[in-house]
Amino acid sequence: MEKEKKKVVIFGVDDMLTDDLFDYLRQLYHVTTYGAEAIASEDSFVQKAKMADVVCFFSGRISGQVLKQLDKTKLIVVCSTGYDYVDVETAAECGIAVCNSPSFSSRSVAEFQFMLLLALYRKLPSVIKENESHFEFSFSFNALMGQELFSKTIGIIGTGNNGTHACRIARGFGMEILAYSRTVNSQLVADLGIKYVSLDELLKRSDIISINIPLNDSTKHFLDHEHFSKMKNGVIIINTARGSVINEPALIEALKSGKVASAGLDVLENNTKDNPLLKMENVLVTPHMAWVTREALKRMVELMVENILGYFMGEAQNVVNKVYFNPISEKVEWVRPTLGNKVSIEVCQSLMDALYSGNQKPSEAGKILITKYKKNFSGGSVEEAVYQVTQFIKHTSLGLISPGKIHDKECRLTLKEGLIGHQQGNNTFLCGIISEIFKIVTGNIYFVTENECSDNKANRTFNIILSE
């Protein structure tokens, strides 16, 4: 008897999103697609999604109340990098994994930032308005006088994927680049000569400020009245991240006073027609379209398919709430945050074998692994990641970690020497390696996360909890 195909429901599909990859998905699963109107009401959404094993959507919101009604669903795929419009905590309580689609639009968004910036610096809105009233080849120099980007100082808040691409574009314009980010990207420093500074220094020195941070509890109203007061007079603000990272009343006040000369906003906190920002002449607003390119849409669909395939193959990826319904055991499990279980296991085993056999130095084993797994890492991060793993295993071999020091349920591990992490993604990689080592040493599976309070410049603390 043929096994029944899993049901996948995709919301928000239109003509632009038809793709051969959808056809491939249909060969493996029972796929149903709906337009954006199907997610207009919660009742409509629940009715269409309640029998699905997997729910994917390109737009809309999913509340905790809706999630509690999806009894059969075990995976939600958010076809965007941000996932703040899904109640991920309630999803975890319901045993539903939530996957996002990171990095698919980073280049598109970064390019769009500079489109907004160039439009403002060259007063394009005023030029268009002037043309609409009377097209003439003679015009007021004072009214339409622009500025060059060359030699201007841009402050980039957040150097994740979007911020990294913005840095590279800014360097192409010959700009001085200041950066503020939770994690320092040493490759950007080496390649582009950007300078990481404190937030206060960035605000004080920047002619332009570009925002590239996700929205969460710690970043809501990241820029408020106090921050605007520290900025250079006449600064330009570019926001393609999320509207709520800026306190809009504070921005409006700064725009009116001239502290902020102009703003390019692809996102708003107050998405209503009466938002004062929509009527201000020194503000250019676009309808959250920075990511909309053919290339980004193609990558989005590819990531959606990869997320679904990975889930059913037992290789869940991009899980943001750390839960996973294992189709083999049919139980909800914690996801160990690795860059792929197979990669972590082989890297761990190879380095440990090299260390204990004495036949090969860990650094030599690391070089082989760098070549083999280059595609599994973002550019430039492999060497640092393997170095960290090698140092970690040296600590292990020196007896700094032993089964006797691991409690039955949980423990905390602090590593100091040689574990300074600057590369994006290394925390995830190292957590995966620690989990694999603990599995080899103890025979148990541990859920490993890095403590957010860790001081990355001195030591790193990991919370290690036995997976029930």
Query: Average pLDDT, whole number, for the chain?
Result: 78
Q: The domain containing residue 226 runs over which residues?
A: 106-285
Residues 96, 130, single domain; the answer is: no
What the block records as the tokens of 251 is: 């921005």
Residues 281, 303, single domain; the answer is: no
Residues 121, 218, single domain; the answer is: yes
Number of structural domains found in the chain: 3
Residue 99 in domain: yes
How sure is the predictor about 311, in pLDDT bands with cuts at 50, 70 and 90? confident
Instruction: Give the pLDDT confidence score for residue 108 in this predicted structure.
Output: 95
Amino acid occupying residue 349: Q
Residues 266, 398, single domain; the answer is: no
292/31 Cα distance (integer angstroms): 24
Residue among 59, 41, 164 nearest 101 (CA) = 59
Question: Is 458 exposed, middle or buried, given 0-12, 13-18 or 19+ CB atoms closer than 10 A?
Answer: exposed
pLDDT in tens, 21-41: 677 778 778 988 888 777 778
Residue among 464, 462, 461 nearest 441 (CA) = 464
Q: Helix-strand-coil percent breakdown of the chain, rounded to 5?
A: 40, 20, 40
Residues 148, 115, single domain; the answer is: yes
CATH number of residue 183's parent domain: 3.40.50.720
Instruction: Give the pLDDT confidence score for residue 145 in this predicted structure.
Output: 83
CATH number of residue 354's parent domain: 3.30.1380
What the block records as the tokens of 34 is: 């709906």
Residues 192, 175, single domain; the answer is: yes
Q: Is the pTM higher than 0.85?
A: no
Residues 255, 367, single domain; the answer is: no
CB 465 within 8 Å of CB 352: no
How sure is the predictor about 102, in pLDDT bands with cuts at 50, 70 and 90? confident
Residues 83, 121, single domain; the answer is: no
Residues 70, 148, single domain; the answer is: no
